[in-house]
Amino acid sequence: MEQADIADAVREVVREIVPQASEVEEGVLLSSLGLDSLASVELTLRLEDRFGVVFEDDEMAFEHFESVGSIVELLSAKNLA
């Protein structure tokens, strides 16, 4: 899967959880769009389901989920790209 495709899919999942996030740029902090801790858990679960991956404990750090770009990097490291 290409990184652009991963980014598009991540944006789609983010919009499902945070509807006011209509345009999500890769570098925008998701917390600034209203993503709170509960929504972060939901995001993680949906990403695992969407991409067929399981995030390990060491991958659950905030910096991996702070933006679309950081999520794309994490997923790319899981050999999806």
Alpha helices by DSSP H, the chain = 3-17, 37-51, 68-77
CATH of domain 3-77: 1.10.1200.10
pLDDT at position 19, please?
79
pLDDT at 76: 94
The pLDDT assigned to 69 comes to: 95
Tens place of pLDDT for every residue, the chain, 81 residues?
A: 899 999 999 999 999 998 777 778 889 899 998 888 899 999 999 999 999 999 999 999 989 999 999 999 999 998 765
